[in-house]
Amino acid sequence: MKKRLLLISNSTNYGEPYLEWPRPYIKDFLNKTGIKRALFIPYAGVALSENGIEASYDAYEERVNGVFNELGFEIYSIHREKDPQQSIKDALAIIVGGGNTFHLVYMLHELKLMKVIKDAVENGLPFMGWSAGSNIACPTMRTTNDMPIIEPESLNCLSLINFQINPHYLDASIEGHGGETREQRLEEFMVINNNIYVVGLREGTLLSINDDEIELMGKRPMRVFKFGQDPKEYQPGASLSFLL
């Protein structure tokens, strides 16, 4: 079965409404699947409400559903399902929202969903994620930018792709800031993990993957890192088959 993934760097560009810039890509991706209703995974959204985690999930579902309704689709959240594993098996598509990757991965391991999701997607279930939702498509979450607010059972993720993504990738070095740049952090990762590509996925860009085809979409290039090699820029439309 064809693997169909839409891996989005960020939900919202500065000054835009929520999920504004990726709307055409989301609509096109779902239209190609022929589905109108998708299962939403909100576990990365831990700070959307002052009334606790369940209220945060409720608020996240409502926010995302508002956008998807405008596009002609509907989502329903896994946190309302009595049997989360069965809900994955019954889903027509999976959408994973951004937020804190540590909490998202914690919950997916806690509910024993990693293998269920992986098996479903590798058997053709369409998968879409942004930010943390893109992180978990990778072999590990170790290229996230997020604070470890909770300790997952494992840092291992879905391995739907063979490379790592660093969402929200920034080239900037802030004047007066003594900490490492994003590139330096990724270089540390590659010293320890020197056999894997890392994609710096800038905001306003995404990766569309259809089985053995991968395409960068958006208006900005992405930066690819590999241990022992100089980082290289790839423009939208460039051949990226080496990543697969």
Tell me whether residue 83 is one of the annotated catalytic residues.
Answer: no
Q: Indicate if 146 belongs to the active site.
A: yes
As a whole number of angstroms, the distance between CA 152 and CA 166 comes to 19
Please give the Cα distance from 78 to 88 (Å, whole number): 8
56 is catalytic: no
Please provide the DSSP assignment of 6-47 as one string. EEES-S--TTSPTT-TTHHHHHHHHHHHT-SEEEEE-TT--S
Q: Of 49, 109, 159, 168, which one is the catalytic site residue? A: 168
Question: CA–CA separation, 9 vs 202, rounded Å?
Answer: 6
- CB of 94 closer than 8 Å to CB of 41: yes
Q: How many CB atoms lie within 10 A of CB 36?
A: 13
Residue 127 is encoded by which pair of tokens?
């998968």
Instruction: Sort strands 127-130 and 94-96 into parallel, antiparallel or unpaired.
Output: parallel
Q: Give the Cβ contact number of residue 134 at 10 Å.
A: 30
11, 131, 134, 154: which one is catalytic?
131
Residue type, 1: M
Which of 11, 56, 103, 146 is catalytic? The answer is 146
Contact (CB, 8 A) for 144 and 101: yes
Chain mean position to CA 24:
17
Beta bridge partners of 210: 4, 213
* Active-site residue set: 131, 146, 168
